[in-house]
Amino acid sequence: MIIKTVDLETVCGVTSRLPENTLPEFAFAGKSNVGKSSLINALMNRKAYARTSSQPGKTQTINFYNINKALYYVDLPGYGYAKVSLEAKAKWGKMIERYLQKSAMLKMVFLLVDIRHEPSANDKMMYDWVVSNGYHPVIIATKLDKLKRSQVPKAVKVIRMGLGMEKEDILIPFSAETKQGREEIWELIEQAAQE
């Protein structure tokens, strides 16, 4: 995909109204620090347009990036961030749920998991929840550069098993460092945006 323009068009806080967009949306979900904003930067061909941090809990709003005036990348706050109060967690859980349930233009949900770890109970819950809302989440196994190539097949198997993925469900190993996997993700997005 050739990126001509990127524009952080809407930023939603926990009490904001969600935008009623008319372009297809692609959402990126996953636990805090898994690499959602880094993936979005890679998909925008920008180094740091979406803010990233080694401290979990960087993205605390729902950010809508208008891409080429043709579609949106939607950067969601991470779940499982320990330092946030239970009340804040519950509010954000509701907000993310509301977005995933209500958005008329949401075409695809990317669920990110760290390739080095077995999916957590939260990952599994999110996966099941997305499925129960009628989507087939595309799994992105992030931080691929942190594994030796020989470790990848086993790690992929552990994630597929852990989430209870079907054979035909898509899992793409990805690295924001090397950009490996980016073309494949772009292809999925371009295809779905046209449907």
Binding-site ranges for ligand GTP (CB under 6 A): 30, 32-38, 52-54, 56-59, 77-78, 142-143, 145-146, 175-177
Hey, what are 140's tokens?
């992105």
DSSP string, 93-150: HHHHHHHHHH-TTEEEEEEEEETTSPPPHHHHHHHHHHHHTT--PEEEEE-GGGS-GG
What's the min distance (Å) between Cβ of 194 and ligand GTP? 27
- DSSP 8-state assignment for residue 153: H
- Contacting Mg ion (CB under 5 A), which of 10, 33, 37, 175? 37
Using alpha carbons, select from 41, 44, 75, 175 the residue that is nearest to residue 115: 175
Site size for Mg ion, by CB under 5 A?
Answer: 4
Could you give the strand order of the β-sheet that contains 6-12, starting from the edge strand earlier in sequence? 6-12, 62-67, 71-75, 25-30, 106-114, 138-142, 171-173
Rounded to a whole number of angstroms, the minimum distance from the CB of residue 191 to ligand GTP is: 23
Nearer to ligand GTP, 24 or 35 (CB): 35
Residue 143 or 167 having the CB closest to ligand GTP: 143
Residue number, 57 or 162, with CB nearest to ligand GTP: 57
Should residue 32 be labelled a site residue for Mg ion when binding is judged by CB under 5 A? no
Q: Per CB under 5 A, which of residues 10..29 are in contact with Mg ion?
A: none
* Cα 17 to Cα 14, 49, 79, 190, distances in angstroms: 9, 23, 20, 28
Provide, rounded to whole angstroms, the least separation between the CB of residue 147 and ligand GTP. Answer: 10
Binding site for Mg ion (CB under 5 A): 36-37, 58-59
